[in-house]
């Protein structure tokens, strides 16, 4: 079964002495009958009474019909390719949006981690300043103790020295706690810097993937634009072929009318000749 390029109906093809016809001889294509003037019995019987110009015009029309059918099939395949390319483009664009959202989330996490690192750095600087102040206090108290021991006997310390010693011990305990806290914060800072570097690598990989997908989206858009341009060119060709068919049809109609007039004139002349000759 094939599709008739004129009436777009699916019919059984058949063959005569000249060419293969798409329309069924029992149910011929009405558009073909209008264009060629074939009777219902099929184009083979009508072709015997036509001139060579009519047969040449029929061949040209058949060629134009074949070209029109080929262009219609190419247009259908191009439409299918356009739909497939549009679906691929939408899928790639969805992946592109998802990857971009993920990259934005990682960038926000990186900014948050950077703020935490800045806070830890500030806190470590404050603890280091407190540690230096405590060391200065300890040195000052040790100098005071040494000066007191040099001035008097070791067995005659006063209560002020005892208080200073207890204050030194308390400061030493606090310094140990602050040292342990500083070490813990430094370990957390190192871990955060490692996580930040890992996230930076992930962001760079995602950005490279996004760039590749953006390039693919641009290629898909260019391909769709090329297909649409080709479809527009084929639509123009179809319109030109249809105009050519209309022109050929009008020419055939004029030739058919002229042929009818000539046949009618020939019959009249034959009738006049028979009347002039008279009975045998």
pLDDT digits (tens, 9 = 90+) for 145-198: 666 555 544 444 556 667 767 777 777 787 788 888 888 888 888 888 888 888
Rounded Cα gap, residues 67 and 61, in angstroms: 10
Beta bridge partners of 14: 21
Residue 83 to residues 69, 86, 132, 237, 279, Cα–Cα distance (Å):
21, 5, 73, 22, 79
pLDDT tens, position by position, 236-270: 888 898 898 888 889 888 988 998 898 898 888 88
pLDDT given for residue 149 in this prediction: 52
Which 3 state secondary structure label does DSSP give 15?
Answer: strand
The average pLDDT across 119-137 equals 77
| Helix, strand, coil tally for the chain in percent (to 5) | 85, 5, 15
pLDDT given for residue 41 in this prediction: 42
Name which residue leads in pLDDT, 128 or 235.
Answer: 235
**What structural domains does the chain harbor?**
50-277 (1.10.287)
**35 contacts 46 by C-beta, under 8 angstroms:** no
pLDDT tens, position by position, 32-71: 554 444 444 444 444 444 466 666 667 777 777 777 777 7
Mean predicted lDDT score pLDDT of the chain: 74
Q: Tell me the pTM.
A: 0.33
Name which residue leads in pLDDT, 1 or 142.
Answer: 142
């Amino acid at each position: 079964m094939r599709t008739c390029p004129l009436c777009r109906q699916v019919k059984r093809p058949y063959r005569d002495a000249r060419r293969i016809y798409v329309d069924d001889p029992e149910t011929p294509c009405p558009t073909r009958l209008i264009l060629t003037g074939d009777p219902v019995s099929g184009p083979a019987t009508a072709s015997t009474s036509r001139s060579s110009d009519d047969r040449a015009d029929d061949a040209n029309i058949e060629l134009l019909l074949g070209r029109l059918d080929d262009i219609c099939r190419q247009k259908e395949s191009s439409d299918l390719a356009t739909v497939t390319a549009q679906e691929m483009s939408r899928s790639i664009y969805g992946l592109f949006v998802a990857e971009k959202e993920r990259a934005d989330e990682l960038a926000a996490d990186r900014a948050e981690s950077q703020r935490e690192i800045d806070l830890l750095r500030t806190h470590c600087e404050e603890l280091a300043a407190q540690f230096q102040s405590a060391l200065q206090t300890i040195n000052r108290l040790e100098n005071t103790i040494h000066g007191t021991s040099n001035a008097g006997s070791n067995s005659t310390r006063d209560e002020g020295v005892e208080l200073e010693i207890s204050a030194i011990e308390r400061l030493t305990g606090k310094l140990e706690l602050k040292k342990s806290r500083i070490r813990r914060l430094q370990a957390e800072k190192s871990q955060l810097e490692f996580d930040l570097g890992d996230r930076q690598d992930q962001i760079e990989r995602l950005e490279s993937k996004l760039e590749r997908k953006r390039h693919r989206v641009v290629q898909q858009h260019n391909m769709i634009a090329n297909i649409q341009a080709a479809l527009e060119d084929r639509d123009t060709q179809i319109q030109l072929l249809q105009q050519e068919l209309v022109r050929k049809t009008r020419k055939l109609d004029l030739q058919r009318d002229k042929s009818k007039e000539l046949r009618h004139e020939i019959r009249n002349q034959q009738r006049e000749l028979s009347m002039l000759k008279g009975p045998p």
